């Protein structure tokens, strides 16, 4: 049963809460917040909302229309036990105080509209998402950019480059070689206990956890998997997930990053997104007579995602760094095809179980830099467009795509090569996002404009490796 405002006030009293922290997600996926004494919170405040300056939030309001309200969602309440002072967190929705309507650029509002649109189609009533967010844990991070220099340094006790390091007490030699970080046990996997502490904290926050493990790359690449949930709830969970990872890492002397490609020459971090549609409690993606047991609806959904993938990636792989991951040779899902097992395919069909309830597709190109509310909504909208227009996906490819000849690969579409290319694709292909008023033109315009500026910022700056290549030319 969902909590009410009265339940929240009782929770505050029962747990002797001192601070209430109100949080919302900005256009680009960052949690924003402010805090107030718990004694000040009233039912009226939770219903009317709390004011803030929308012009100070990137991608939101202009300065002459700055007043906005965040309205706490009582059902989202949780006690933040990563903080020393007893604190209750409330996730908020944003509304315009003049018209008292949901704000068009509030990502959580977009996700809610997406769920409502799904029901209005009659095709399904529930979209489930299960993201596999990967991240790196570094023990030392230094970077700087100025007119006369640009550099970064990252380090990790388990990284292969530390085999020869002088360490107090002696170097014990357990290091993870490049591309050999998948599943080693301790002491090679130095982060077992730290990940366990992360998942225990996530469970305290109400997240249903399935497993955790070390990932392929050296230098602390990790993955923690959550059990699937509905679109808005899973986006809320992913925001909690990233927050806990960062907080627990910092508490134990590490720094966590969700950058897709912080290391040269090793695997990057993605966020494979498992997804399926259900109606009246029954799964809709299963058909034992079809390829990979995928129903025609699931195949059309796949066709929609593959058709719109270049545009989707402007939202689902939203950084310039994302396209340093989406390159050949590092298990990156750069081929816009689907397959039962091929991990270089953009969409994989998991085969661990033949149960109708487990039948789903896995879109592998996104990464955890994305705004989950926008990314999940956009993927579902692309899939629904595929169903409504009966978009057939390309024939499945269950071969090693890297081993195909150039002639055999000629007709295989690839992911965009840069953020700018993905933004071009979004500008050319966005109508599917506007259906049902889920996304709005003003949101997409603000988003694209900000991301264009990011791409230009990178293009303007000399790269350190350019000095190696060109300085004495």
343 in active site: yes
pLDDT at 63: 67
Range picked from 54-63, 162-171, 424-433 for highest mean pLDDT = 424-433
pLDDT value of residue 1:
58
The DSSP line for 236-249 is HHHHHHHHHHHHHH
Is 325 designated active site? no
The pLDDT of 58-87, averaged and rounded, is 91
What percent of the chain shows pLDDT beyond 90?
Answer: 87
For the segment 84-142, what is each residue's pLDDT rounded down to a tens digit?
999 999 999 999 988 899 999 999 999 999 999 999 999 999 999 999 999 999 999 99
Q: Verify whether residue 134 is a known catalytic residue.
A: yes
Active site residue 272: yes
Q: What is the pLDDT of residue 408?
A: 78
**Neighbour count for residue 231 (Cβ, 10 Å):** 23
Set 223, 229, 236, 385: catalytic member? 223
Token duo for residue 43: 């039912």
**225-251, pLDDT tens digit by residue?**
999 999 999 999 999 999 999 999 999
pTM (two decimals): 0.96
> Is residue 164 predicted with pLDDT exceeding 80?
yes
Q: 5-103 and 126-470: same fold?
A: no
- What pLDDT is recorded for position 131? 98
What number of other Cβ atoms are within 10 A of residue 178's Cβ?
16
Q: Would you list the domain boundaries of the chain?
A: 5-103, 126-470
Is the pLDDT at 410 greater than 90? The verdict is: no
- Spatial neighbors of 77 by CB under 8 A, at least 6 apart, are 3, 7, 8, 11, 88, 89, 90
Select which of 343, 392, 398, 413 is catalytic. Answer: 343
Collapsing DSSP to helix, strand or coil, 307 comes out as helix
**Separation of alpha carbons 232 and 115, rounded Å:** 8
Indicate which residue of 53, 101, 140, 400 is catalytic.
53
Is 204 a known active-site residue?
Answer: no
Report residue 366's pLDDT band, with 50, 70 and 90 as the boundaries: very high
- In CATH terms, 5-103 corresponds, of 3.30.1220.10, 3.30.750.200, 3.10.20.70, 3.40.80.10, to 3.10.20.70
List, for residues 441-459, the tens digit of each pLDDT value: 999 999 999 999 999 999 9
Q: Containing H/E element for 424?
A: helix 419-428
Give every CB contact of residue 414 below 8 A, 6+ residues apart in sequence. Answer: 334, 335, 336
Q: Which one from 134, 189, 236, 385 is the annotated catalytic residue?
A: 134
Q: What is the pLDDT of residue 165?
A: 93
Lowest-pLDDT choice from 77-81, 219-223, 327-331, 396-400: 327-331
Determine the Cα–Cα distance for residues 96 and 113; give it in Å rounded to an integer: 16
pLDDT recorded at residue 235: 98
Per-residue pLDDT for 180 more than 70? yes
DSSP state string for 208-222: -EEEEEE-SSTTTEE
Terminal C-alpha separation, the chain:
69
Active-site position among 73, 115, 362, 367: 362
Q: Per-residue pLDDT for 332 more than 90?
A: no
Per the structure block, which two tokens stand in for 59? Answer: 């991608």
Contacts of 372 (CB under 8 A, 6+ apart): 29, 131, 234, 235, 238, 239
Q: Is the pLDDT of residue 329 over 80?
A: no
Q: How far is CA 222 from the centre of its chain?
A: 15
What's CA 333's distance to the chain center, in Å?
A: 16
Query: Active-site residue among 272, 324, 325, 348?
Result: 272
Q: Which of 80, 115, 158, 215 is catalytic?
A: 215
Pair of tokens at residue 351: 């085969």
Is pLDDT above 90 for 351? Answer: no
State which fold the 126-470 domain adopts.
Creatine Kinase; Chain A, domain 2 (3.30.590)
| Per-residue pLDDT tens digits for 252-286 | 999 999 999 999 999 999 999 999 999 999 999 99
Give yes or no: 223 in active site.
Answer: yes
Across the chain, mean pLDDT equals: 94
Question: pLDDT per residue over 193-212, tens digit each?
Answer: 999 999 999 999 999 999 99
């Amino acid at each position: 049963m969902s909590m009410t405002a009265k339940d929240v006030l009782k929770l505050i009293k029962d747990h002797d809460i001192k601070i209430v922290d109100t949080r919302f997600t900005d256009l680009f996926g960052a949690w924003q917040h402010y805090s107030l004494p718990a004694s000040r919170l009233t039912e009226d405040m939770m219903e009317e909302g709390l004011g803030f300056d929308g012009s100070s939030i990137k991608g939101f309001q202009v300065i002459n229309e700055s007043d906005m309200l965040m309205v706490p969602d009582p059902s989202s309440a949780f006690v933040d036990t990563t903080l020393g002072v007893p604190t209750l967190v409330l996730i908020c929705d944003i509304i315009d105080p003049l018209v008292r309507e949901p704000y068009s650029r509030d990502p959580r509002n977009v996700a809610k509209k997406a769920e409502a649109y799904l029901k209005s189609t009659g095709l399904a009533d529930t979209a489930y998402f299960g993201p596999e967010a990967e991240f790196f844990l570094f023990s030392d991070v230094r970077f700087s950019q100025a007119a006369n220099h640009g550099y970064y340094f990252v380090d990790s006790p388990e990284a292969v480059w530390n085999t020869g390091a002088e360490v107090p007490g002696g170097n014990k030699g357990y290091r993870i070689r490049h591309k050999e970080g998948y599943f080693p046990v301790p002491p090679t996997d130095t982060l077992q206990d730290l990940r366990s502490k992360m998942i225990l904290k996530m469970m305290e926050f109400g997240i249903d956890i399935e497993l955790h493990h070390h990932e392929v790359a050296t230098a602390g690449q990790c993955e923690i998997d959550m059990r699937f949930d509905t679109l808005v709830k899973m986006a809320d969970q992913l925001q909690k997930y990233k927050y806990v990872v960062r907080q627990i890492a910092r508490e134990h002397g590490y720094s966590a990053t969700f950058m897709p490609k912080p290391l040269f020459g090793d695997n990057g971090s993605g966020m494979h997104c498992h997804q399926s549609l259900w109606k009246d409690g029954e799964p809709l993606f299963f058909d034992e007579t079809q390829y990979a047991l995928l129903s025609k609806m699931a195949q059309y959904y796949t066709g929609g995602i593959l058709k719109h993938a270049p545009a989707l990636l402007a939202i689902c792989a939203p950084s310039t760094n994302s396209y340093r991951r989406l390159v050949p040779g590092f298990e990156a899902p750069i081929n816009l095809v689907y397959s039962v097992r091929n991990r270089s395919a953009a969409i994989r069909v998991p085969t661990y179980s033949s149960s109708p309830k487990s039948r789903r597709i896995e879109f592998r190109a996104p990464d955890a830099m994305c705004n989950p509310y926008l990314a999940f909504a956009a993927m579902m909208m692309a899939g629904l467009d595929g169903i409504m227009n009966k978009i057939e996906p390309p024939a499945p490819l269950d071969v090693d795509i890297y081993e195909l000849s150039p002639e055999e690969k000629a007709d295989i579409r690839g992911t965009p090569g840069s953020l700018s290319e993905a933004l071009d694709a979004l500008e050319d292909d966005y109508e599917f996002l506007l259906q049902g008023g889920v996304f709005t033109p003003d949101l997409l315009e603000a988003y694209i404009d900000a991301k264009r500026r990011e791409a230009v910022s990178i293009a303007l700056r000399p790269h350190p490796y350019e000095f190696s290549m060109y300085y004495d030319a």
